[in-house]
Amino acid sequence: MALTIKQQFSSPGGILKFLIKHNTIFIFIVLVIFSALISDVFFTSVNLSNLLKQVSGIGIISIGMLIVILTGGIDLSVGSMVALLAVTFAILVNTVILPLAIILTIIIGFSLGSVAGYLVAFQKMAPFIATLALMTIARGLGFIYSKGSPITFKTPGGEFMSNFANNSTLGIPNIAIVFFLIVIGAMVMLRYNVFGRLVIAIGSNEEASRLSGIKVNKYKFLVYAISGALAATAAIIVASRTNLGSPNMGMAWELDAIAAVVIGGASLNGGKGTAINTLMGVLILGLIGNILNLLNVPSYPQQVVKGGIIIFAVLLQKFESK
């Protein structure tokens, strides 16, 4: 790695090429500098830890989204899954002991993801359709189980979770630590584990994968299940932060997750993308929201800016592939 960076710098136009190649990190750094210059509140620890807390939930589902997108699929259900699973977790926290509530929520998330995985891998349903259907089902179930209103944590277990989610360790919000650990886990799995190799192989040529003796269906199934389990983790975090589970949570989060993955340079055709770049994508989206808030820009113009940044990032990636 070090060598290639050196080579890139030494060749003519090298710095420019380097910046284009690592454009996500580049955009991220520019945004940080820009934010720091424009607002003196930005670099305060309160603001930064708020920022991290805000992005952790979406960040976790973005990692699941990345793994699915690497196979050439998509998971539209994650936002609604967060709602359903947050409600589920709130109900469980109020009925069983905390460790069991956590484990059960994750298992349920995994199982719901498995449904999408089953439809895509074994019933050959288009991922867009299968997860679109699950998206409305999950949202609907969320409302049914919660009877349409938020369920508050009422037990000591719930209190513990709420404390955990709102506190920091060594200055870093606990939930951000959870998010970072998941990013590191994904990075290791994608880079150094056979799992990642095969997921990427499937996304770049499914037929060649099949004829290489890869268990294509197994991996396609697994990625949705993992995405479900990560949605459960995100749900636990966001519910704990607010001390309740609501069927309105995670609204349109799937779109933010897709945006983060794409800003991170992944290809929706599959086969291309990394966890670290998705992390950058998540942080970039979060930063934009953060700085616009600090500047008191209302939410509608914020959306316009966000969209603009997505287009800009993807345009930069076009240069890279040239």
Partner 1 sequence: MKTSESEYRVEMTGISKSFGVVSVLENVNLKVKPGEIHALLGENGAGKSTLVKILSGVHQKDSGKITLNGQEINPKNTHEGQVLGISVVYQELSLVNDLSVAENIYLHKLGASKFWMNWKKITEDAQELIDSLGFEIDAAARVRDLSIVQKQVVEIAKALSEDTKVLVLDEPTTVFDPTDIKKLFDNLFKLKAKGISIIYISHHLDEIFKIADSVTVLRDGVDTGSMAVADTDADGVIRLMIGRELKDLYPPRNVQVGEVPVFEVKNLTAKDTLVHDVSFSVRPGEILGIAGLGGSGRTETAKLIFGAHKKKSGTMLLNGKEIKTNTPVCAVGHQIGFVSEDRKEEGVFLPLSIRRNISVTNFTGISGKLGFINTDNEYKNVVGLIDKLSIKAPSSEIDVKNLSGGNQQKVALAKWLSVDSKVIFIDEPTRGVDVGAKVEIYNLINEVAEKGVGVVVISSDMPEIMGISDRILVMYKGTIYGELPKDKFSEENILRYSIGKQLK
- Tell me which residues touch partner 1 (CB under 8 A): 11, 192-195, 197-198, 200-201, 204-205, 207-215, 271-272
| Cβ at position 12, least distance to partner 1 in Å | 9
Q: Is 57 left (phi over 0), alpha (psi -120 to 50) or beta?
A: alpha
Q: Which is nearer to partner 1, 142 or 271 (CB)?
A: 271
Q: Which is nearer to partner 1, 167 or 193 (CB)?
A: 193
Which value, in Å, is the radius of gyration of the alpha carbons in the chain? 20
Strand partners, 169: 172
| Cβ at position 14, least distance to partner 1 in Å | 10
Distance of CA 10 to the CA centre of its chain: 36
Strand partners, 173: 168
Nearest to 281 by CA among 305, 303, 258: 258
Q: Which is nearer to partner 1, 165 or 186 (CB)?
A: 186
| Cβ at position 257, least distance to partner 1 in Å | 23
Q: Which is nearer to partner 1, 205 or 248 (CB)?
A: 205
Give whole-number Cα distances, 67 to 48, 96, 118, in Å.
Answer: 27, 32, 16
| Cβ at position 296, least distance to partner 1 in Å | 44
Q: Which is nearer to partner 1, 11 or 149 (CB)?
A: 11
CA angle 61, 54, 63 (to 5 degrees): 20
Give whole-number Cα distances, 95 to 48, 157, 259, in Å.
Answer: 35, 10, 37
| Cβ at position 199, least distance to partner 1 in Å | 11
Q: Which is nearer to partner 1, 126 or 208 (CB)?
A: 208
> What whole-number distance in Å separates Cα of residue 29 and Cα of residue 23?
10
| Cβ at position 242, least distance to partner 1 in Å | 37
Q: Which is nearer to partner 1, 43 or 192 (CB)?
A: 192
Token pair for 141: 């179930």
Listed in sequence order, the residues at least 6 apart from 129 whose beta carbon sits closer than 8 Å to its beta carbon are none
| Cβ at position 193, least distance to partner 1 in Å | 5
> What whole-number distance in Å separates Cα of residue 302 and Cα of residue 263?
17
Q: Which is nearer to partner 1, 40 or 207 (CB)?
A: 207
Give whole-number Cα distances, 236 to 96, 113, 268, in Å.
Answer: 15, 16, 28
| Cβ at position 166, least distance to partner 1 in Å | 35
Q: What's the half-sphere exposure (Cβ side, CA atoms, 13 Å) at 89?
A: 37
> What whole-number distance in Å separates Cα of residue 305 and Cα of residue 299?
10
> What whole-number distance in Å separates Cα of residue 103 and Cα of residue 219?
23
